[in-house]
Amino acid sequence: MSVLIKTVRVRGFRGIENIEVELERTTVLTGMNNTGKTSLLRAIQLATGARASISQDDFYIKDSSTIEKITIDLLIAPVSDTDQQQDDFDEDWEIVFGTERIKTDGTRSYVPLRACVELDEASNSYQTTHSILPDWPSFHDESGYWYEKPKGKKTSFRLDELPFFYMDAQRDILEDTRLKSSYIGKMLSKVEYTEESIQEIEDQIAELNEKTVDNSEILKGLKSSLQELNSAMDGDSSGVELTPFTKKLRDLGKGMTIYYSDSQDSFSMEYHGMGTRSWSSLLTLKAFIQLLERNYQASSGVFLPILAIEEPEAHLHPNAQKKLFGQIHSIKGQKIISTHSPYVTASSSLSNIRSLYKDHTVHCGKINLKGLTDEDTRKIYRQVINTRGEMFFSKLLVFAEGETEEQALPIFFKKYFGYESIERGVDFVSVSSHTAYLPFLRFSEGMNIPWMIFSDAEADAKQSVQKALKKIGKEGDIGQHVVFVEDGNDFEKEILAGGYEAEVRKAIASFDFYHSEQHREAREATRLEEIEGYSSQELYEKMTSEKTRYGPAVAYQIVDSEKQLPEKVVELMEMIERTLQQGH
């Protein structure tokens, strides 16, 4: 049996006003930049009693007013080997926490820890105090929010059995080897040998040094010249030694060099890129934790390290990112990983992903798997996460049925707003079929990312959209989330019916190829006359025969004309504008 931090709540820390996040054994935090991922990791560091510096900048500011107190709550619970929450702590963890820290709700035991950071007027410094709550309150009820409840009995909280490790994105194994405080530095400082081994190894090193000098004319000449120093020193001087290799075993770590080899040669870490160096630094943390684990196992003690890791994907190619995630996942302990990588996120279990989204405040989203079949879950992975990983980092998602809309709508967006959609984090996504909206909607709803649909309006398409919204409980919100084109139309018919036939003809003509100016002069007039003779049905068939080709071409012709954007496109852009302005 083990324990886990099941829930963390944060109030007033950096950019986080008030949030609750449920944690797993391995939790992956995703979201756009500046949504609070690093702040959440640092908050857990504060709450676990790990050393952390606090300044005025760490206090949340709202409406030019700085909050006076940071509050962080952790719910620690017993779990089985399969991470299922248990009713009671085992005897070893009961001893670690002590009976005064363990509470029960009548059925299940838990440790409700609170950390508060406030300015101490006497010392003019920020002080962190820990306490054990009388119970674990609701996040919000009729009496107020969780942080307004009594904080309970004051306690100390820094347990060796529950150590916290932070690995930020600025990591480099070369720097680590120079620092005694790094994980590899700490490991090297713990290297021990028997007296017999020390003597034997140092004798071998001395022999190697002597042989190295004797076989080099340069080193022998240098040694001979340096021996002239004896004339200026006491007569008892024993001479000069050159030691290309570390003389004393205790200094072995000072000259430690790491080499990585391929099938043909080996190279010092200095010649490797930042990807290899960053990856290596992470793996030294894994080795350090394995060392601590062996020590606790030798003393029959319990041990659960808490690891906070920022952007493990830094400098690595996609396949390396996936492999590294597997290595991190296998480390003993509880891992909280912040990432901007869709590859790292896709490597995680769906139940382990948490999305942080920021509008006026920071929200946390997760996909609720209760009630979903295995096939429902597979569809979310297959249709969304494995192929549309950028959606994790969107400010707003606009879903459409086909490829034409996916390529044309960003062009219309730029015409309407005056800048690219990606500048505001707006992604236009084709779901490929009017029957395929549901996995995308479940993803967006779960991850707390605003969404809307720009839909065809044939009877079966409208019915499919309504059915999908009903399954996520949004059937009454169609007007807030969905823009249908005119009844009976798909997107191509909507363009033609809106008075843009001339622009469609120009788009078709733009793809005609002429071998030379003479060829153009001989053929162009006849070709344009031929295109002018196309009926609306023929134009429609041409557009739908090669959607990815004609979709953006038609859109560019429309925005380059003097005409207004299509009416339903304008309606969609107005909905996007309202959503971006008000949050959600």
What share of the chain has pLDDT > 70, as a percent? 95
Confidence of residue 224 (pLDDT cuts 50, 70, 90): confident
Q: Kindly report the backbone phi and psi dihedral angles of residue 50, in degrees, each rounded to the nearest multiple of 5, phi listed first.
A: -70, 155
pLDDT in tens, 502-539: 999 988 888 877 677 776 666 767 777 888 889 999 99
Q: Kindly report the backbone phi and psi dihedral angles of residue 7, in degrees, each rounded to the nearest multiple of 5, phi listed first.
A: -145, 140
Task: Decide: helix, strand or coil at residue 81.
Answer: coil
- The mean pLDDT value for 354-370 works out to 92
Angle 402-403-408 from CA coordinates, rounded to 5°: 110
CA pseudo-torsion sign 333, 48, 90, 353: negative
Q: Is the pLDDT of residue 229 over 90?
A: no
Contact 29, 340 (CB under 8 A): no
Burial (0-12, 13-18, 19+ Cβ within 10 Å), 495: buried
β strands within 192-339, DSSP E: 259-261, 266-268, 306-310, 334-338
Q: Is the pLDDT of residue 177 over 90?
A: no
Q: Is the pLDDT of residue 356 over 90?
A: yes
User: Which of 45 and 122 is assigned the larger pLDDT?
Assistant: 45
The DSSP call for residue 295 is: H
Confidence of residue 115 (pLDDT cuts 50, 70, 90): very high
C-alpha distance from residue 51 to each of 129, 155, 176, 195, 305 (Å): 13, 17, 19, 36, 15
Query: Letter for the amino acid at 317?
Result: H
User: Which of 458 and 584 is assigned the larger pLDDT?
Assistant: 458
Q: Kindly report the backbone phi and psi dihedral angles of residue 398, in degrees, each rounded to the nearest multiple of 5, phi listed first.
A: -115, 115
pLDDT at 232: 56
Q: Is the pLDDT of residue 361 over 70?
A: yes
Entry pTM: 0.87
Q: Which fold has domain 2-158?
A: Rossmann fold (3.40.50)
pLDDT in tens, 368-411: 898 899 999 999 999 999 889 999 999 999 999 988 999 999 99
β strands within 69-145, DSSP E: 70-79, 103-104, 109-120, 125-132, 140-141, 144-145
Q: Is the pLDDT of residue 262 over 70?
A: no
Contact 226, 243 (CB under 8 A): no
Q: In whole angstroms, give the CA distance from residue 545 to residue 361.
A: 46
The residues spanned by each domain of the chain are 2-158, 173-227+240-283, 390-584
